[in-house]
């Protein structure tokens, strides 16, 4: 840590901009710095603790966050900075305040090595959502603050706004009343994300992009969180219901013509769709399923299916072969192109010669979905430096806690990858998802991609 402080002294006779400070900090590998001997003592397990290491020219603070602790929502007024995560993970949630309404607008999670930006004027809070482990962060602010005097904090439960004075140690409502210059009651109405947005899901980026195991565990937790309401959600949301019904119908028509006897259903979920497709074919073929969520697998098995709990890349099926394989709504959960190609090759290995693979994926060019936004963030935010691939998105349900991963696909690249894995593409159809749901579309920038491929 001493080396970083020394490095920042280059700004001694300068007035660094937000971008200049960020560029300097991006040179640091925060995964390899020494800080253990500088950690502050935790005085209260319900609040974070700070140790100010430097104030000239850049204020440098080391903070330890016990499990389930967070700052209050607070305003940066007249200063800016960055937060580097050294240990654990930290969520950053941002808000806008207008016309006495405080609205939650965005959020992301930072892992060790991640660098969070805190612009002048931002309203946000930081929180360690872990129930068991501490988080440790290094904070870099300019201009340096002598103390927290004048910082406004917001109480989401009561609508209070408090102004801290120079006695405050942390930006928290756990501070004693003597640490406030004033408190304004009923100062605002709080609108959580789901109260002012009509979408069911939201983007919630993770920086840097975590490894395969982290992503796999999070996807499992994401689906387990909603396993017992998943079918209800599918059937009650008209656009998703219509989209799924169209895909089911198209698959059933193809399977009926092929007169298959065995099928492998990857990302089987609760098994409902696999059973519906079989019923639509009028055939009595054998279904084998694989899914990553234990709760989903339990529901599918109670429906009479043979489903194994595993990721596709890890499951062991020995030398079993199938007439057809479906991978619906989930191929994009595979976290990297390298692993997606390996997964396609493994699928080919479990298909009989001439067998069919059916998969649907989100289109990176679909103007009605997150694809274009993901590309913009990838390019503007330099997410390629954070391990991202073009089209990667992390997201969560607006009413949920777990974060999932999804990749949006370039059609040309996906067709190429299918060919590398030993498939001939029979067709690619653009199917409307939320907009023009269930319709077969012609425009390349509309609809999800539904693909049938044949093993060469």
Q: Name 85's bridge partners.
A: 137
CA angle (84, 90, 94) in 5-degree steps:
95
pLDDT tens for the 456 residues of the chain, in order: 999 999 999 999 999 999 999 999 999 999 999 999 999 999 999 999 999 999 999 999 999 999 999 999 999 999 999 999 999 999 999 999 999 999 999 999 999 999 999 999 999 999 999 999 999 999 999 999 989 999 999 999 999 999 999 999 999 999 999 999 999 999 999 999 988 888 889 999 999 999 999 999 999 999 999 988 888 888 888 999 999 999 999 999 999 999 899 999 999 999 999 999 999 999 999 999 999 999 999 999 999 999 999 999 999 999 999 999 999 999 999 999 999 999 999 999 999 999 999 999 999 999 999 999 999 999 988 899 999 999 999 999 998 999 999 999 999 999 999 999 999 999 999 999 999 999 999 999 999 999 999 999
The pLDDT score that the predictor gives to residue 456 is 93
> Quick one: CA torsion of 9, 10, 16, 19, rounded to 10 degrees?
-110
At residue 431, φ and ψ (nearest 5 deg) are -115, 125
In whole angstroms, what is the distance from residue 251 CA to residue 274 CA? 10
The pLDDT score that the predictor gives to residue 230 is 87
Structure-token match 């092929």, residue found: 258
Closest listed residue to residue 55, CA positions, set 136, 172, 147? 147
Domains contained in the chain, CATH given: 2-197 (2.60.120.10), 212-455 (3.40.50.150)
The pLDDT score that the predictor gives to residue 237 is 84
The pLDDT score that the predictor gives to residue 235 is 80
Q: Output the CA torsion sign for 367, 369, 371, 375.
A: positive
In whole angstroms, what is the distance from residue 87 CA to residue 89 CA? 7
In whole angstroms, what is the distance from residue 297 CA to residue 309 CA? 6
**Contacting residues for 131 by C-beta, under 8 A, at least 6 apart:** 67, 68
Structure-token match 């927290």, residue found: 148
Cβ–Cβ < 8 Å for 391, 408? yes
Burial of 365 (0-12, 13-18, 19+ CB in 10 A): buried
In whole angstroms, what is the distance from residue 256 CA to residue 277 CA? 10
């Amino acid at each position: 840590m001493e080396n970083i402080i020394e490095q920042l002294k280059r700004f001694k006779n300068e007035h660094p901009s937000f971008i200049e400070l960020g560029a300097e900090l991006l040179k640091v590998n925060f995964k390899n710095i020494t800080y253990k001997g500088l950690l502050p003592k935790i005085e209260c397990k319900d609040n974070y603790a700070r140790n100010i290491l430097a104030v000239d020219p850049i204020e440098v603070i080391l903070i330890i966050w016990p499990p389930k602790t967070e700052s209050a929502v607070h305003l940066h007024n007249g200063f800016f900075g960055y937060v580097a995560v050294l240990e654990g993970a930290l969520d950053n949630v941002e808000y806008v305040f207008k016309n006495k309404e405080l609205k939650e607008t965005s959020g992301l999670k930072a892992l060790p090595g991640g660098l969070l930006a805190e612009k002048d004027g931002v309203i946000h809070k930081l929180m360690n959502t872990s129930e068991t482990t501490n988080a440790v962060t290094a904070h870099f602010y300019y201009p340096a603050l002598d103390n927290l005097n004048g910082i406004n904090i917001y109480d989401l439960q009561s609508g209070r706004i408090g102004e801290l004075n120079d006695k405050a140690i942390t930006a928290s409502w756990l501070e004693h009343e003597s640490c406030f210059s004033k408190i304004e009651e009923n100062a605002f109405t709080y609108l959580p994300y789901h109260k002012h947005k009509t979408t069911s899901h939201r983007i919630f980026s993770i920086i840097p992009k975590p490894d395969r195991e982290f992503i796999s565990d999070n996807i499992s937790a994401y689906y387990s969180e909603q396993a017992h309401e998943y079918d209800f959600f599918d059937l009650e949301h008209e656009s998703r219901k219509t989209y799924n019904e169209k895909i089911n119908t198209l698959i059933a028509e193809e399977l009926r013509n092929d007169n298959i006897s065995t099928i492998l259903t990857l990302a089987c979920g609760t098994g409902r769709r696999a059973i519906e497709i079989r019923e639509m074919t009028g055939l009595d073929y054998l279904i084998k399923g694989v899914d990553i969520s234990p709760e989903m697998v339990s529901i599918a098995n109670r429906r009479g299916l043979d489903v194994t709990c595993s990721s596709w890349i890890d499951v062991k099926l020995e030398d079993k072969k199938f007439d057809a394989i479906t991978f619906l709504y989930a191929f994009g959960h595979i976290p990297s192109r390298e692993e997606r190609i390996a997964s396609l090759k493994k699928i080919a290995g479990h298909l009989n010669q001439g067998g069919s693979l059916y998969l649907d994926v989100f289109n990176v060019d679909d103007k009605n979905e997150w694809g274009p936004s993901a590309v913009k963030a990838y390019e503007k935010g330099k997410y390629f430096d954070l391990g991202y691939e073009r089209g990667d998105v992390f997201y969560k349900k607006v009413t949920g806690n777990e974060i999932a991963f999804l990749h949006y696909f370039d059609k040309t690249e996906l067709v190429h990858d299918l060919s590398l894995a030993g498939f001939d593409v029979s067709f690619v159809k653009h199917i409307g998802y939320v907009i023009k749901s269930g319709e077969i579309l012609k425009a390349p920038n509309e609809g999800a991609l539904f693909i049938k491929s044949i093993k060469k």
